Chains A and B, each alone.
Chain A
Amino acid sequence: MNYIWIGLIIISLIFGVLNGNLEEMLEVMLSAPKDTLELLLKVGGMIIFYSGIFKIAVDSGVIKIFSKLFSKVIKKIFSNIPSDHIAIDYISANIVSNLLGLGIASAPMAIKAYEEMKKINNNKDTISSSMIIFLVINVASFTLFPVTVISIREVYLAKINIQIIPLLIIVTFINTLLSVFFTKIVLRKKNDE
């Protein structure tokens, strides 16, 4: 992360200076804290709200129902987590809400899942293999209702719109499968060494 971050900044700065838009860059650099606050007000506000709603679901045991839906598959994928651990419930709840296209509402569940995975990890500062797998599943964004792009395309009066939903579902599904498979292989190699 460190090198990527430094790299992004250095390349942008050098190119910006060569291009002569120094002032604009200074401006956006100084406005970054404000942008971040605005982003967090928007996204963070929703996360805080759904954290509250989600806590009700946890306390009432609703998320146990979610985890029963996929428990077999998820336990197989996350073989490092004890099978009756609460992290499994959080992971299932996150995946279900992603499938339904609930967007930001699923973020608190992901955070909870990562927190629980951190608790069972031996080294608190370092990522565990189950966290990487969960991240990959989230990046691959398997969904049944790709609502954002569909509504945007509707605004643009697209003729090909509903037809792409099944394709998107298939592609995100295959992407999730292949990526988890790849990640498993990479992580296994690391463990062998």
Chain B
Amino acid sequence: MSNLFLFIFIFAIIVTGIVKKVNCYESFIQGVKDGMKNVVNMFSFVLAFVIAINLLNSSHLLEYISSKLNFKYCDLLIQAIVRPFSSSSSLSIMLKNYEKYGVDSKISLLSTFIHTVSDSTFYMISFYFGCIGIKNTGKALVCGLVTNIIGIVLSFLVVMIFF
């Protein structure tokens, strides 16, 4: 379904460009140039981010914590902690939960919600503000993290009520 949307989206944009007599070719080239600049700007910030996440993953710290904490929802706790840092780590915990508890279990549903209802704050801050060159990110981190926490709390409430 999303592929269809994407197709319609791109098609509609180009058709409107033709109707409005825009030089689509020139516009596209100009946009790509801007995009290239942005992506090159991002590199250093994303690299710093990837190093930190790689190290965290390879230190097996989180696995250690979850093996020590032996209660029902400890996998979800770890996922909730990881979610603001890294989408891919959260996704892999979600898939592990699917296999461990079954895809329709309460834990897997919670895991799905935790993964979906918020995005990784740290990644977004380093990615976007690195890209446009903002050094002092002020309260962005706190506000982003609160969003993550609200999302997780809401997930718990909804899954507990409806399933």
Q: Which residues of A contact B (CB under 8 A)?
A: 1, 4-5, 8-9, 11-13, 15-16, 19, 21, 24-25, 27-29, 31-33, 35-37, 39-40, 44, 47-62, 97, 100-103, 105, 108, 110-111, 114-115, 118, 124-127, 131-132, 135-136, 138-141, 145-149, 152-153, 156-160, 164, 167-168, 170-172, 174-175, 178-179, 182-183, 186-187, 190
Is chain B's binding surface mostly helix, strand, loop or mixed?
Answer: helix
**A15, B17: Cβ atoms closer than 8 Å:** no
On chain B, the residues within 8 Å of A39 by CB distance are: 46, 50
Residue of A27, A37, A56, A124 contacting most chain B CB atoms (<10 Å): A56
29 residue pairs from A and B, CB less than 8 Å apart: A1-B122, A12-B58, A13-B59, A15-B64, A28-B57, A29-B54, A36-B43, A40-B42, A53-B10, A55-B32, A56-B14, A59-B20, A59-B22, A60-B19, A60-B20, A102-B9, A124-B133, A125-B134, A127-B136, A127-B138, A131-B140, A132-B139, A135-B144, A136-B147, A140-B117, A164-B109, A174-B154, A179-B146, A186-B139
Which residue of B27, B31, B143 contacts A132 across the interface (Cβ within 8 Å)? B143
A8 and B129: CB pair below 8 A?
A: no
Contact assessment for A55 and B59 in the assembled complex, using a CB-CB cutoff below 8 Å: no
Q: A11-B56, A59-B20, A108-B31 are in contact. List 8 more A-B contacts (CB 8 A).
A: A32-B50, A32-B54, A40-B42, A48-B36, A111-B132, A140-B118, A175-B151, A175-B154
Tell me how many residues of B have a C-beta within 8 Å of chain A. 91
Evaluate contact between B150 and A51: CB separation under 8 angstroms.
no
Interface residues of B (CB under 8 A from A): 1-2, 5-6, 9-10, 12-14, 16-17, 19-20, 22-24, 27-32, 34-36, 38-39, 42-43, 46-48, 50-61, 64, 85, 94-95, 98, 103-104, 109, 112-113, 115-122, 124-126, 128-129, 131-144, 146-148, 150-151, 154-155, 158, 162-163
Smallest CB separation, A10 vs chain B (Å): 10
Known contacts: A40-B42, A132-B143. The answer to whether A9 contacts B55 by CB under 8 A is: yes
In whole Å, how far is B127's beta carbon from the nearest beta carbon of chain A? 8
- Cβ A139 vs Cβ B119 within 8 A: yes
The answer to whether B136 and A111 have CB atoms under 8 Å apart is no
Compute how far the CA of A74 lies from the CA of B78 in the bound complex, rounded to whole angstroms: 35
Among A19, A102, A132, which residue has its beta carbon within 8 angstroms of that of B138? A132
8 Å CB contact of A1 from B6, B42, B126, B132: B126
Find out whether the CB atom of A190 lies under 8 angstroms from the CB atom of B139. Answer: yes
- Asked if A145 and B146 make an inter-chain contact with CB atoms under 8 angstroms apart, the answer reads no
Q: Complex Cα distance A60/B129, Å? A: 28
With a 10 A CB-CB cut-off, give which of B31, B36, B53, B109 has the most chain A CB atoms: B31
Residues from chain A with Cβ under 8 Å of B57 in the complex:
28
Knowing A48-B32, A100-B5, A118-B134, the reply to whether A36 touches B144 (Cβ < 8 A) is no
B121 touches A62 (CB 8 A): no
Pairwise interchain contact A24-B144, C-beta atoms closer than 8 A: no
Most chain B CB inside 10 Å of its own CB: which residue of A8, A13, A58, A187: A8
**Contact between A139 and B31, CB atoms less than 8 A apart:** no
Centre residue among A31, A145, A153 by max chain B CB count within 10 A: A153
